[in-house]
Amino acid sequence: MSKVGEGEILLIGNITSAISEADAQDKLPIQVCAGILDGIEASAKKPFSAIAVVMADTATNLRNGLAALRKSAKARILLLARMYEEPEAIKLVSANGNGKTLADDYIICPVRMEKLCEAVYPRAGIAAGKTTAADAAIQARIHQLEILATEDDLTGIKNRRYIREFARQIIERAKKNSGRVTVLIFDIDDFKRYNDAYGHAAGDEVLRQAALLIRRCCRKHDMVGRMGGDEFAVVFWDDPRYFPTAGAGERRSPAAEHPREAILIAKRFRRELEKTDLRLLGSNGKVILTISGGLASLRADGLTAEELFSKADHALLEAKRSGKNRVYLVGQPENDIDKIE
């Protein structure tokens, strides 16, 4: 059983789904409750250094549950979020109109037990005034390094490692609830020309503009990342918070399992990119930016993240060979998305 006493961490949810090496639970001061109601009762009986809530196991009425935890416990509340839950986690740790938050921080899981404890104890000490300013600075630096490990420093979107792991997790989730996932991989046509003709500063600006535009064109929950160089990826998926009946009665492209939204977003992005005004290229540097890309969908084109990325990458190469400035769907007789209504 877990150790008891002040300084203990209360974990609400399934410990094996959120923490790697969960069998180390007995060696660390962690108490586990199955649900929010049990957690509220436990937190009312004794103090905890922090309360860690597994979002995937407490999705029903999560906001109300967190609000109740706030009232019953003085401990810091940490969310244990899967990658696809990160947008919601960010909202929950952001202040509302009253300047209050439902949670203090979040950690992407699965997380090592030791890392969870490291996230709790130094920050709990800071909150209680038991640590120095140097300790706080170290924690801030650690948090900054965690961000750098998942984000592309040039464009500010997610990096290759994050986007591939996100795809793996969301595909695992989609297989359990018949969800749909589509991967888009694209790069900027003749990108090397911008670097050679206008310099690397202009090339960097092209990449930043592309990242900004694709992010604006996508839905809030879709995940955008830079794979490296001028290659980008988008993972489209059906989030039940936004599309509770996703798939029901939705019109599909012929003989395909690709969500119609992914095709529409890819078309919209191409139109917006062509209208981009790149000031860094100078008065004589007006050009039309175009992309080539490939779309691959779960079940129609593969059952793993590796398969989808490979199929989408192959479709991208086919688009390049066919003259560029187009996005191809895997497995379609006429696979240019411009030919699909």
Contacting residues for 135 by C-beta, under 8 A, at least 6 apart: 122, 125, 126
Structure tokens at 19: 């923490």
The token duo for 131 is: 């640590």
Closest CA to 138 of 153, 152, 119, 151: 119
Q: How far is CA 287 from CA 277, 281, 302, in A?
A: 8, 9, 37
Q: Which residues are catalytic?
A: 230
DSSP of 36-48: HHHHHHHHHHS--
> Three-class SS of residue 70?
helix
What element of type H or E holds 272? helix 260-274
Write the CB contacts of 187 (distance below 8 Å, at least 6 apart in sequence): 229, 230, 231, 232, 291, 292, 293, 316
Tokens of 330: 């895997």
What are the C-alpha distances in Å from 149 to residues 159, 196, 203, 305, 306?
8, 30, 23, 20, 21
| Bridge partners for 54 per DSSP | 80
Task: Check: CB of residue 201 under 8 Å from CB of residue 281.
Answer: no
Cβ proximity of 120 and 202 under 8 Å? no
8 Å CB contact between 251 and 260? yes
